[in-house]
């Protein structure tokens, strides 16, 4: 429990910093837009690039979990898409469920927790992060682009490739696959930028929430939190039990149960998603993760 609190507390504190900046009239209406643009065009691409290129492939003995995780996550994306269409959700609400349910705080929060709980599995955790990131910025972005443009043609693909988030995934994956090495000064600079991504967005989120608590349907907040923190990890836990409790899938269970990430909030600045709903759901999922994550740790024997 202490490990969870220590990992979540900085997130909540940085949101509180943003909240106070607004309430003390230090920030203004332009801050959220500026901070979000810095994150979209500089910090988040650096975070993605740094995370993928630093994966140690030689530290992993079996890659079967890659196929299992990819298949489950792709299935979750399409099942969510189908259900939201059946329920006749709006485009923005459907996109919000698809992205928020699928993508959790697997890096900033998931990595330190799993690093402490499962020493020696750093490479496996990094691959998990890469799987989620790659699927989000390929399949996830494709769904968002189609929802926005109603089709996905060659010109739209070209425009999508100009997205710095997508470019960072493609470039870092190519470097990882080829074993290429960038000059130390470049990688150090990218790593420094990567370290600023999460703090900047959490402060922006706090400012956003302080300006006026969003008037949203909290039924959807509850649904997102329950699906993300309970249903998602239980799907992976069923596989964990069926395959006789391999530690690698124990990592998958915990990563699936991480709170909603701040990345969907960033994407809401570009694509049709409900940014206000995502903002409130991020805070709510972080709070309830104090209960759900320790429970998941007990289930997989990591507590």
Q: Which two tokens stand for residue 79?
A: 């099942």
- Class of residue 43 by CB neighbours under 10 A (exposed 0-12, middle 13-18, buried 19+): buried
CATH topology of domain 2-299: Na+/H+ antiporter like fold (1.20.1530)
For the stretch 50-106, pLDDT in tens is 877 877 666 555 667 788 889 999 999 999 999 999 999 999 999 999 999 989 888
In angstroms, rounded to a whole number, what is the distance separating the alpha carbons of residues 195 and 197? 6
For the stretch 151-185, pLDDT in tens is 656 665 666 666 777 788 788 888 887 888 888 89
Give the model's pLDDT for residue 1.
62
Give the model's pLDDT for residue 87.
94
Q: Which two tokens stand for residue 184?
A: 């130390």
Give the model's pLDDT for residue 145.
83
Q: Which two tokens stand for residue 62?
A: 């079996």
The residues near 168 (Cβ < 8 Å, ≥ 6 apart) are: 44, 45, 46, 48, 49
End-to-end CA distance of the chain: 9
Q: Are 249 and 236 in contact (CB under 8 A)?
A: yes
| Count of beta carbons in the 10 Å neighbourhood of residue 14 | 19
Q: What percent of the chain has pLDDT over 70?
A: 87
pLDDT-based confidence at 7, cuts 50/70/90? confident
Q: Are 134 and 89 in contact (CB under 8 A)?
A: no
C-alpha pair distances (Å), 220 with each of 92, 101, 118, 213: 12, 12, 34, 16
3-state secondary structure of 3: helix
In angstroms, rounded to a whole number, what is the distance separating the alpha carbons of residues 266 and 212? 19
- 98-112, 214-228, 285-299: least confident range: 98-112
Give the model's pLDDT for residue 182.
86
- Class of residue 27 by CB neighbours under 10 A (exposed 0-12, middle 13-18, buried 19+): buried
pLDDT-based confidence at 300, cuts 50/70/90? confident
Q: Which residues pair with 104 in a beta bridge?
A: 260
Q: What percent of the chain has pLDDT over 90?
A: 23
> Maximum distance among all alpha carbons in the chain?
56
Give the model's pLDDT for residue 96.
96
Give the model's pLDDT for residue 172.
84
Angle at alpha carbon of residue 96, lines to 93 and 102, rounded to 5°: 140
Give the model's pLDDT for residue 283.
87
Q: What is the mean pLDDT of the chain?
A: 83
Give the model's pLDDT for residue 167.
81
Give the model's pLDDT for residue 71.
92
Mean pLDDT of 139-144: 88
Q: Are 284 and 221 in contact (CB under 8 A)?
A: yes
For the stretch 266-284, pLDDT in tens is 888 888 999 889 988 988 9
User: To which residue do tokens 């190519």 refer?
Assistant: 174
Reported pTM: 0.80
Choose among 286, 284, 282, 283: nearest CA to 263: 282
| Count of beta carbons in the 10 Å neighbourhood of residue 30 | 8
Q: Are 261 and 137 in contact (CB under 8 A)?
A: no
Element (H, E) at 13: helix 2-23
In angstroms, rounded to a whole number, what is the distance separating the alpha carbons of residues 38 and 118? 34
């Amino acid at each position: 429990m202490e490990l969870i609190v220590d990992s979540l507390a900085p997130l909540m504190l940085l949101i509180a910093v943003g909240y106070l900046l607004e309430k003390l009239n230090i920030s203004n209406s332009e801050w959220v837009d500026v901070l979000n643009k810095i994150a979209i065009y500089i910090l988040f691409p650096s975070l993605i690039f740094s995370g993928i290129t630093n994966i140690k492939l030689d530290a992993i003995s079996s890659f079967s979990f890659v196929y299992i995780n990819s298949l489950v996550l792709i299935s979750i994306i399409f099942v969510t898409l189908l259900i939201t269409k059946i329920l006749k959700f709006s485009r923005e609400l459907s996109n919000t469920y698809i992205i928020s349910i699928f993508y959790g705080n697997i890096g900033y929060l998931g990595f330190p927790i799993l690093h402490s709980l499962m020493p020696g599995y750093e490479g496996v955790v990094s691959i998990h992060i890469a799987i989620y990131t790659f699927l989000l910025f390929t399949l996830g972005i494709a769904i968002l682009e189609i929802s926005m443009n109603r089709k996905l043609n060659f010109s739209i693909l070209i425009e999508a490739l100009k997205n710095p988030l997508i470019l960072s995934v493609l470039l870092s994956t190519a470097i990882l696959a080829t074993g290429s090495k960038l000059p130390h000064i470049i990688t150090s600079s990218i790593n420094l930028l990567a370290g600023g991504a999460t703090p900047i967005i959490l402060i922006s989120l706090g400012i956003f929430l302080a300006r006026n608590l969003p008037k949203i349907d909290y039924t959807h907040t509850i649904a997102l939190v329950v699906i993300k923190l309970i249903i998602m990890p239980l799907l992976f836990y069923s596989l964990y039990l069926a395959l006789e409790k391999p530690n690698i899938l124990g990592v998958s269970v915990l990563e699936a149960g991480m709170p909603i990430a701040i990345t969907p909030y960033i994407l809401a600045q570009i694509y049709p998603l409900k940014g206000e709903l995502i903002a409130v759901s991020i805070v709510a999922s972080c709070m309830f993760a104090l209960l759900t994550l320790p429970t998941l740790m007990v289930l997989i024997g990591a507590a």
